[in-house]
């Protein structure tokens, strides 16, 4: 590892001038610039980002805090954000909090002590301990995907209420009056918003959803197995004609379990998911889902970080897109 001093010595010139050449700040005689560039090449010199970051109070670094990274949607966020960071010569430091407020706080502190230039965070839930710390660094923080109720942070997320409403309307229009739902964890506001919208869509048509058929899942396969298991043991199950799982993974899990129980999708029962992942169209039957524009959300997030809005907070909600597939294609007869 050679330093700027090494370069200066080799070029027979001062550090200041070398720095000027690198940053293109201030005038440098062409001939000395040449010498410097040659020395840089010879020594395979790269400026130390810790030193410059310390001086400039900017680590040329974006922090990304997610619940986990194995989930498809988060992988997509990582991908898009990482690509944009690369484009702007920014590093990307990542941490996952597994819904633990303590881990979330540790990550936050660690990131800040690295002089990050921006923080993108999909927070734990309303139980997050970051409240006031987030407030102190408003321009630098964007909440992505998940919201914190009543927070004054900038945020980029899907209109989850609308997503629920769209799905409710869709199922209603297909003739379904007795529906079930496998939700995400209720401590996360997006899960609450989704089911609220779903309920409202039916309510607007005068239909009440039976709360016995609302199951709180955790976005993982196993919880969808449990949900179907529980539903199937309820006497009212035979009248249920549609199930909405709040992500595609749980929808596919539900499909598997329903098939095992001898229920055929979409003939006996309709099924829908959410996210618009490959899973939805790769499964047989293909599953009706709600597409989330993950890439656009990530792009918007980065653009907000790079051009901080004057009047915080900015709350951006993306529109969900309903994708109809085979799993809800059958029209149910309305008695």
Smallest gap from residue 279 Cβ to a copy of itself (A): 8
Smallest gap from residue 35 Cβ to a copy of itself (A): 22
Smallest gap from residue 114 Cβ to DNA (A): 11
Smallest gap from residue 201 Cβ to a copy of itself (A): 28
Give yes or no for residue 43 binding a copy of itself (CB under 8 A).
Answer: no
Give yes or no for residue 107 binding a copy of itself (CB under 8 A).
Answer: yes
Give yes or no for residue 71 binding a copy of itself (CB under 8 A).
Answer: yes
Smallest gap from residue 8 Cβ to a copy of itself (A): 17
The DSSP code sequence of 112-143 is: HTTT-SEEEE--S-TT-S-HHHHHTTGGGEEE
Residue 159 C-alpha from the chain's centroid: 13
Cβ proximity to a copy of itself: between 172 and 219 the closer is 219
Q: Which one of DNA, a copy of itself, none is in contact with 279 (Cβ closer than 5 to 8 A by kind)? A: a copy of itself
The DSSP code sequence of 149-214 is: TT--SEEEEE-HHHHHHHHHHHHHHTT--SEEEEE--TTSHHHHHHHHHHHHHHHTTT-PPPGGGE
Among candidates 132, 127, 133, which has minimal Cα distance to 146?
127
Residue 282 C-alpha from the chain's centroid: 22
8 Å CB contact between 219 and 249? yes
Give yes or no for residue 76 binding a copy of itself (CB under 8 A).
Answer: yes
Answer for which of 82, 178, 212, 232 binds a copy of itself (CB under 8 A) is 82
Cβ proximity to a copy of itself: between 229 and 259 the closer is 259
Q: How far is CA 8 from CA 16, 35, 48, in A?
A: 8, 10, 15
List residues binding DNA (CB under 7 A): 1, 3-5, 12-17, 19-20, 22-23, 25-33, 45-48, 51-52, 54-57
Cα angle, residue 30 at apex, residues 26 and 33 outer, rounded to 5°: 70
Q: Which of residues 166-225 bind a copy of itself (CB under 8 A)?
A: 221
Q: Which one of a copy of itself, DNA, none is in contact with 27 (Cβ closer than 5 to 8 A by kind)? A: DNA
Give the pairing of strands 214-216 and 242-245.
Answer: unpaired
8 Å CB contact between 205 and 143? no
Q: Which one of DNA, a copy of itself, none is in contact with 92 (Cβ closer than 5 to 8 A by kind)? A: a copy of itself
Contacts for 190 with CB less than 8 Å, ≥ 6 apart: 145, 146, 147, 157, 158, 160, 184
Binding site for a copy of itself (CB under 8 A): 1, 46-51, 53-54, 59, 61, 68-72, 74-76, 78-79, 82-83, 86, 89, 91-96, 103, 106-107, 109-115, 221, 249, 252-253, 255-256, 259, 278-279, 282-284
């Amino acid at each position: 590892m050679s330093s700027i001093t090494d370069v200066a010595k080799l070029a027979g010139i001062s550090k200041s001038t070398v720095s000027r050449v690198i940053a293109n700040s201030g005038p440098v005689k062409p001939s000395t610039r040449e010498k410097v560039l040659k020395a840089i090449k010879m020594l395979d010199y790269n400026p130390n980002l810790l030193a410059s970051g310390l001086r400039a109070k900017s680590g040329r670094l974006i922090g990304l805090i997610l619940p986990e990274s194995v989930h498809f949607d988060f992988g997509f966020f990582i991908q898009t954000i990482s690509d944009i960071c690369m484009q702007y010569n920014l590093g990307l430091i990542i941490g996952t909090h597994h819904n633990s407020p303590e881990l979330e706080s540790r990550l936050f502190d660690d990131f800040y002590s690295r002089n990050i230039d921006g923080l993108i965070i999909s927070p734990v839930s309303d139980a997050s301990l970051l409240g006031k710390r987030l407030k102190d660094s408003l321009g630098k923080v964007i909440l992505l995907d998940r919201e914190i109720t009543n927070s004054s942070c900038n945020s980029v997320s899907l209109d989850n209420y609308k997503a629920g409403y769209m799905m409710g309307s869709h199922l209603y229009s297909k003739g379904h009056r007795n529906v079930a739902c496998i939700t995400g964890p209720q401590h996360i506001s997006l899960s609450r918003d989704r089911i609220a919208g779903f309920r409202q869509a039916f309510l607007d048509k005068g239909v009440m959803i039976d709360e016995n058929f609302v199951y709180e899942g955790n976005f993982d396969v196993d919880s969808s197995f449990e949900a179907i298991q529980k539903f199937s043991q309820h006497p009212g199950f035979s009248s249920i004609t549609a199930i909405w799982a709040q992500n595609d993974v749980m929808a596919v899990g539900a499909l598997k379990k329903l098939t095992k129980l001898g229920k055929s999708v979409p003939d006996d029962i309709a099924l829908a998911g959410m996210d618009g992942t490959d899973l939805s169209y790769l499964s047989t039957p293909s599953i009706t889902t709600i597409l989330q524009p993950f890439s656009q959300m990530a792009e918007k997030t980065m653009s907000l970080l790079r051009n901080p809005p004057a009047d915080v907070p900015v709350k951006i909600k993306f529109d969900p897109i309903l994708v109809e597939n085979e799993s809800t294609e059958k029209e149910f007869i309305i008695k």
